[in-house]
A and B are shown apart, each in its own frame.
Chain A
Amino acid sequence: QVQLVESGGGVLQPGRSLRLSCAASGFTFSYYGMHWVRQAPGKGPEWVASIFYDGNNKYYADSVKGRFTISRDNSKNTLYLQMSSLKVEDTAVYYCARDSYTRVLVTICFWGLGTPVTVSS
């Protein structure tokens, strides 16, 4: 079955950088678009970024555009989120998620367990 395991979260100061990883298994990773979604404490989910199956097209929420970069390595079945110039308001659990369809970006569907990121001075 679909398994997504995020890692790389932690506690850091504003302005610092962090890279999250998401190891995928149980499906053909290179066929599916992928997403990052975050959830601040006590809040609902918020879409962060998405990437096509081949990595050629990427999309970002306005709140992270210019600071976060989504990427993937299909040879390693791994999705990444490079976060820079972190702000206190970036504090959240970060989830990677797989799309429901192959080769297109349509639906945020299967979620990982999440990795927490806390930005605090």
Chain B
Amino acid sequence: SSELTQDPAVSVALGQTVRITCQGDSLRNNYASWHQQKPGQAPVPVIHDKHNRPSGIPDRFSGSSSGDTASLTITGAQAEDEADYYCSSRDSSSNHLGWLFGGGTKLTVL
């Protein structure tokens, strides 16, 4: 079955750049979106449809993709960026439409 794979945990020094990746066959034909979730809160989109930033999201967040891998890059990570990050995409590979989520990456800002 289709799935999206993420590294479980990533760390970054304050002010440095970090990239979080998401891999899956669905990404070859569908855009990735990225959702930030802090403890006890609902997810918030930080990037949708590969590289679009919703209003209010700092421009240090950016998205890209190549082949079956999508990436979320945080340039100059801040303490408030510490959170779980989930990628998602539409899955049109089987005979019916669905949506997938990655297992999440826990980002620690040191």
Interface set of A (CB-CB < 8 Å, partner B): 1, 35, 37, 44-47, 50, 59, 61, 95, 100-101, 105-114
Asked if B33 and A59 sit within 8 Å, CB to CB, the answer is: no
Asked if A47 and B100 sit within 8 Å, CB to CB, the answer is: yes
The residue among B43, B44, B54, B84 with the most chain A CB atoms within 10 A of its own CB is B43
- Closest Cβ of chain B to A99, distance in Å, is 10
Which residues from chain B contact A35 at a C-beta distance below 8 Å?
99
A45-B33 contact given A100-B48, A109-B54, CB 8 Å threshold? no
Interface of chain B, main secondary structure: strand
Asked if B98 and A45 sit within 8 Å, CB to CB, the answer is: no
Asked if B43 and A111 sit within 8 Å, CB to CB, the answer is: yes
CB of B35 closer than 8 Å to a CB of A: yes
Bound form: Cα–Cα A107–B52 in Å: 12
Q: How large is the interface on B (under 10, 10 to 19, 20 to 34, 35 or more residues)?
A: 20 to 34
Q: Offer 24 A-B interface pairs, CB within 8 angstroms, sorted by A.
A: A1-B55, A37-B99, A44-B86, A44-B101, A44-B103, A44-B104, A45-B86, A95-B43, A100-B33, A100-B49, A101-B49, A106-B30, A107-B33, A107-B49, A107-B88, A107-B90, A108-B33, A108-B88, A109-B48, A109-B54, A111-B35, A111-B43, A111-B45, A113-B42
| B7-22 Cβ-contact flags toward A at 8 Å (1 or 0) | 0000000000000000
Asked if B49 and A47 sit within 8 Å, CB to CB, the answer is: no
Which residues from chain A contact B101 at a C-beta distance below 8 Å?
37, 44-47
Bound form: Cα–Cα A111–B45 in Å: 8
Nearest-neighbor residue (CB-CB) of A100 within chain B:
B48
Bound form: Cα–Cα A46–B103 in Å: 10
Which residues from chain A contact B100 at a C-beta distance below 8 Å?
47
Asked if A106 and B90 sit within 8 Å, CB to CB, the answer is: yes
Bound form: Cα–Cα A95–B4 in Å: 20
The residue among B42, B48, B96, B99 with the most chain A CB atoms within 10 A of its own CB is B99
